[in-house]
Structure 1
């Protein structure tokens, strides 16, 4: 037992240095002002009060809107895909899940630039439209282009947890429901959907939180006028240099994340998936 405790100590140390200490510093920056030296900092809540400015509130509302739309579309696309994959044997499922995850092996910047080549005014899509005699469509630097980038980037995060729940589901319950006279729709809503709910909740949580905090995709596909929470935090730290306000936004984002996780936990308090 003492031998295992010795092995744990380095992980505890690294967790403190890479996770706990940065979080403590962010919270400290968020409630202080000054030049951030220990002798001149002053406790204040002004950093949080600045968030009530209509400009920053609009950024938060826009982020939540884009996150919600992205999550809903990913769920609508991912559930049938995960359900379809779960119908194959284990070897085929592994191959299909591999195909789903392959895009994640490519750098996010490269994937985003690929969307630029597709959606730009002189890109592939508009070139095809011109070739068939249709007028080109302005797609870049719009909500549409940002949503396409977010959905493409985050769809695997929805497919994989849903597939995991469906793959480990006890299908004898589905057969029992059919034997008892339940139709396909009722069997799906009462048995399959309920047993896959943990995967749905995990996927929704991950996609929503990643979408509202994304900053590379909104900048490249939405233009610099398209600002979400992630862009706002990056701008405060990198461009403006206001670490205190940037930390306050980060703390508020962390609170939103914790609240989201709490809501999801209340929806599925057992979180046992198909083993219920």
Structure 2
């Protein structure tokens, strides 16, 4: 559909490491325990694991959706208050959740309304929504993302899955985050939209934005991530660095301990 082999979608360039952007120490909720990680500017950090490993729960803990029981989250050395999505946004963190229809989009509102949701300061006049200002912000991003719709007044419920995901990403591009968390960003979309999202990830990283990529697609993690953290049972079980990011290593560390014991791979 995109006129080339799927392997050609991952033509990432090696990037020099930037300074630390996100620092997490001992992050604990009801679903994850003792998470330590960092993300550098311009880095794509992959998060791998089987279903139920705690990957999405980690993302929601970082952005304040899940209640923090322990640990700290800092951006540029400044602590991010717990349990507050607003505080995370103010700190420069964006989050595109796995379930875009129920957790990210207002399905019966327009593309314009959805994409402008997090930039009220730039799309209002005297406290009232300004359509003109919103169009000034969103129109260039809709063109950049190649959102396929007759106009920006189309309800997102009428868009394909790939175009719905582009609306979510346009929202965060409007916000200009320093860190963007993408949870299964290509699930349920066609190969053409996948290729566009891969290009966007590479472009954002090249521009110095830090990214956390949570994915069940091994080729995405292997092709896009600078490092991969593997999770099992709510904990980080391994850190894999290039050129040692491969499917066998990811799967071995993603297996819960009882499964490893049955296979004779753990004491």
Q: What TM-score results when the alignment is normalised by the length of structure 1? A: 0.25
Please say which structure displays the higher CA radius of gyration: 1
The structure with the largest helix share of the pair is: 1
The structure with the largest strand share of the pair is: 2
